[in-house]
Amino acid sequence: MAEAEPIRPQVDDERLSAIDLKAGYALSGVKDVLDELDRTLIGLKPVKQRIKETAALLLVERARKRLGLAHETPTLHMCFSGNPGTGKTTVALRMADLLHRLGYIRKGHLVSVTRDDLVGQYIGHTAPKTKEILKKAMGGVLFIDEAYYLHRQENERDYGQEAIEILLQVMENQRDDFVVILAGYADRMERFFESNPGFRSRIAHHIDFPDYADDELLAISEVMLEKQNYGFDDEGRAAMEQYIALRRRQPHFANARSIRNALDRARLRQANRLFETSNGPIDADTLSTIVAADIRASRIFSNEASQVESAS
C-alpha cells in the first residue's frame, strides 16, 4: 500500500482568523481511514469511538497551532488491552495511517515486535537490539505485543529491564517523532504497569478491546469466507452459528482468530468431501459452498455430544 501523505489545506496561515474543522477533516483523509475501519472491522464500537476522539483532538490541536493559540503536541502512546483475536494489530495499523494523515508522525508505517525482538540473551546484547528496533520505528508506530513479557520479575538476571529503561527514555524524549502501542491481556497489562510505573505515566490512552458477541463472530466468519470467494448455505450458516456458541465455552478461545482457524479446517473438509464424492465436473457454486457437514465434523460437536451422554 502506498504511503499516504498528510494533506494540508493550501491557505496563507498569516491571514487565517478561523478554521473550518470539518473541511480539515475532509482534506486530511481521516474519513477514509475511519470508513475503512467500519467496513473491515465488525463491532468494536468503543474502540472506534476512541479513535474518532483521537482524530478530533489532533484536528483541534492543529487548528489551534495555525491560529497562533497556545498548543502542545499531545502524547499519544497507547495501551490496547484485550483478549487474542479482538483486532488490536489491525487497529494499530489503521492508527498509524491516521496519525500520518494528520501530520502527527512523519511516516505511516507500523513496526510490530515482541519481547524477543527487543531483549537479548546475554550482557551487552539488549541495548543494540532495542535501539535498532527504535530506529526502524522512528516516524511511525512501534507496536509491542504481549508487552508484559518485557518484565520478568522472577528472574533476577533477566535483561528485559534494560529494554524497558531505553524505551521509557525514548518515549519521553522523542514522543513527537513516534508512538508506542503496548498490547496484551488486560489483567496482565495492569500488573505490568504496577511493576513499571514509568510506563503508566507515559501511556496517555488506554483502550479496551471487548470480546466479540456471537452474532458478530458469525458476521466475521461470513466476511472471511467472502474474501476467499466462499460462502455458507443455509444449513452451513446455522451449523456455524452453533459452532461459535460451543467453541466459546472451550479453552483457548481467541475470538476472530479461532473463527479463522475453524474456517480453514472447514475448507479442508469441504475439499476432501468434494474429492471423495464427485464423479464428474463441479461448478463454481459447489466449489465455493461450505455446508453443515463441513462444520459439524469438528470435534467441538462430538465433545458436546459426549458431555450430554455423560450427564444423562
Low-confidence residues of the chain, pLDDT below 50?
A: 1-2, 7-14, 308-312
pLDDT at 36: 83
Per-residue pLDDT of 105-123, as tens digits, reads 999 899 999 999 999 888 8
Distance CA 147, CA 134 (A): 15
Distance (Å, whole) CA 270 – CA 57: 49
Query: Can you give the pLDDT at residue 175?
Result: 82
Q: What is the pLDDT of residue 215?
A: 96
| Predicted pLDDT at 308 | 41
What is the predicted pLDDT for the residue at 306?
Answer: 53
pLDDT, position 57: 87
Domain boundaries, the chain: 13-209, 214-311
Report the topology of domain 214-311: Helicase, Ruva Protein; domain 3 (1.10.8)
What distance in Å separates the CA atoms of residue 63 and residue 59, rounded to the nearest whole number? 6
Q: What is the pTM of this model?
A: 0.83
- Topology (CATH level 3) of domain 13-209: Rossmann fold (3.40.50)
